[in-house]
Amino acid sequence: MTAELGPEPPPRGFPRRRLPPGQYVPRGWPVLHYGRVPRVDLATWDLRIFGTTADGGERYLSHGEVSALPQSEVVGDFHCVTKFSLLDNVWAGVRALDLAQVWPPHEDVTHVMIWAEYGYSANLRLTDFLADGAIFAHSRNGEPLTAEHGWPLRFVCPHLYAWKSAKWVRAVQYLTGDERGFWENRGYHNLGQAWDEQRYSYQERPGDGPPL
């Protein structure tokens, strides 16, 4: 796990109120992840959509098919549980809402699991998945994501802590009940709302998630 430089003081007039509790603005974009950076072959890469889909089927989308989906740009902040925040990022890619309109979940679906390389997973409520700013991003601020930051596809959900914004996405699973993901099973809060400072599982209240 690596990180670039340390925090810098906000510039004069910086709107501190835009930062969730306990966050700071770093120099650059720190690189944080569990495990090694995968090697990706776009010729064999695919995105799987499965689980409780509306029609009961599942899909495997090639990189070309994902690139052919409606492309959007959203402006969204990025809040890491390690306490740094990046503001006003311009993410480009496929909005989760647009993906769900083409390959919708069944009406009984309440949660979504995002699966990534090496079996990494991050769970979230369907309402969070379908939020306006949630996007499967391939670029940030006009530049393709680097491999260290999740190329070729990274899920981004700006209002949740960034462990929910999984790098190297490979699958979307529709669920009819909540299941904890990788970090949620290892002490992180099941919901991860940045503005409510939901960092760790000991902060959870009844109903915030399934038993550990």
More confident residue, 15 or 19: 19
Tell me what pLDDT residue 104 has. 98
Strand partners, 115: 121, 171
Question: pLDDT grade, residue 33 (50/70/90)?
Answer: confident
Question: pLDDT grade, residue 18 (50/70/90)?
Answer: confident
Q: What is the pLDDT of residues 94-103, one digit of tens each?
A: 999 999 999 9
Report the chain's mean pLDDT, rounded to a whole number: 91
Reduced to 3 states (helix: H, G, I; strand: E, B; else coil), residue 63 is helix
Tell me what pLDDT residue 3 has. 34
Q: What is the pLDDT of residues 119-135, one digit of tens each?
A: 999 999 999 999 999 99
Q: What is the mean pLDDT of residues 164-172?
A: 97
33 to 26, 52, 133, 198, 209: CA distances (angstroms): 17, 29, 22, 19, 24
Phi, psi (rounded to 5 degrees) for 46: -150, 165
Listed by start position, the domains of the chain span 45-203
Looking at the domain 45-203, which fold is it? Sulfite Oxidase; Chain A, domain 2 (3.90.420)
pLDDT for residue 13 is more than 50: no
22 to 12, 13, 79, 81, 165: CA distances (angstroms): 19, 19, 10, 9, 19
